[in-house]
């Protein structure tokens, strides 16, 4: 049995008592034992408490729970569409105009830690956002990521107010920039820093 406490924290019954788990960070926040197996759990986030019933010992147990913290968050919106570029790789010596699909890199930086993915033929804002999610969640990065279409949602892996100071930046770079070609896709952060952590 279990009961939600909020912000991905749950209180669960165990064979010898109870545990308070943070499902996002995959951490055991608190463990306790009870006189007999827990048969019911209720939580009251406003009071910062969980109430456990252990009928075999006629007990109602009140457990103070850890202070709830939230993760600082931000979003990055990927926009644009794949373009065909025309360029002259022979300049300035001769003229040999060529046409090719644009390709390049979309990068974000959180807390001065850069990470980027390549874009190219067939990509869309949604596919680039999905690549960024895989790249971010596949390494030890300061945030976890999810995507809805071309919108990348980021949540700090460290709870509290500290990550509210983490800078959030995004850049793009076309592989044809030397020919004066801009990016087919670009990334726009929701703000200059993450926010909402407490």
What confidence tens digit (pLDDT) does each residue in 41-92 have? Answer: 888 777 777 778 876 666 777 877 766 677 899 999 999 999 988 888 887 7
The answer to whether position 111 is within a domain reads yes
The answer to whether position 82 is within a domain reads yes
Boundary (domain end) residue, out of 26, 41, 64: 64
Number of separate domains in the chain: 2
The reply to whether 112 and 143 lie within a common domain is: yes
The reply to whether 106 and 75 lie within a common domain is: yes
Q: What is the DSSP letter of 1?
A: -
The answer to whether position 196 is within a domain reads no
Peptide bond connecting 92 to the previous residue in cis, omega within 30 degrees of 0: yes
Q: Which two tokens stand for residue 137?
A: 């969640």
The answer to whether position 197 is within a domain reads no
Q: Which one, of 148, 162, 150, lies nearest residue 80 by Cα?
A: 150
The answer to whether position 141 is within a domain reads yes
The reply to whether 57 and 76 lie within a common domain is: no
The reply to whether 82 and 100 lie within a common domain is: yes
The reply to whether 176 and 100 lie within a common domain is: yes
Res 9 pLDDT > 90: no
CA distance 48 to 148: 33
Domain extent for 26:
2-64
Res 134 pLDDT > 80: yes
Please report where in the chains the tokens 């055991």 appear, as a residue: 28
Cα separations in angstroms, 187 against 39, 107, 155: 50, 8, 17
Boundary (domain end) residue, out of 29, 64, 99: 64
- Exposed / middle / buried, residue 96 (Cβ in 10 Å: 0-12, 13-18, 19+): exposed
What sign for the dihedral angle of Cα 166, 172, 177, 181? negative
The answer to whether position 35 is within a domain reads yes
Worst-scoring range by mean pLDDT, 51-65, 97-111, 153-167?
Answer: 51-65
Res 137 pLDDT > 90: yes
The reply to whether 13 and 101 lie within a common domain is: no
The answer to whether position 198 is within a domain reads no
β strands within the chain, DSSP E = 2-6, 9-14, 17-22, 27-33, 40-44, 49-54, 59-64, 71-80, 84-87, 98-101, 104-110, 113-119, 143-148, 151-159, 168-174, 185-189
pLDDT given for residue 159 in this prediction: 79
Boundary (domain end) residue, out of 45, 64, 83: 64
């Amino acid at each position: 049995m279990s009961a939600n406490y909020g912000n991905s924290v749950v209180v669960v019954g165990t064979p010898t008592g109870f545990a308070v788990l943070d499902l996002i960070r995959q951490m055991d926040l608190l463990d306790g034992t009870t006189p007999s197996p827990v048969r019911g759990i209720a939580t009251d986030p406003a009071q910062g408490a969980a109430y456990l019933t252990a009928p075999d010992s006629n007990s109602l147990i009140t457990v103070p729970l850890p202070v709830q913290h939230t993760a600082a968050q931000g979003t990055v919106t990927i926009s644009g569409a794949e373009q065909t570029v025309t360029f002259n790789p022979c300049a300035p010596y001769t003229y040999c105009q060529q046409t090719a699909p644009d390709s390049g890199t979309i990068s974000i930086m959180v807390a001065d830690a850069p990470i980027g993915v390549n874009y190219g033929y067939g990509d869309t804002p949604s596919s680039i956002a999905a690549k960024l999610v895989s790249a971010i969640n596949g390494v030890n990065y300061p945030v976890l990521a999810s995507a809805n279409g071309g919108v990348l949602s980021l949540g700090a892996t460290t709870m509290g107010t500290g990550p509210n100071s983490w800078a959030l930046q995004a850049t793009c770079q076309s592989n044809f920039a030397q020919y004066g070609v801009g990016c087919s896709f670009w990334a726009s952060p929701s703000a200059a820093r993450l926010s909402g952590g407490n």
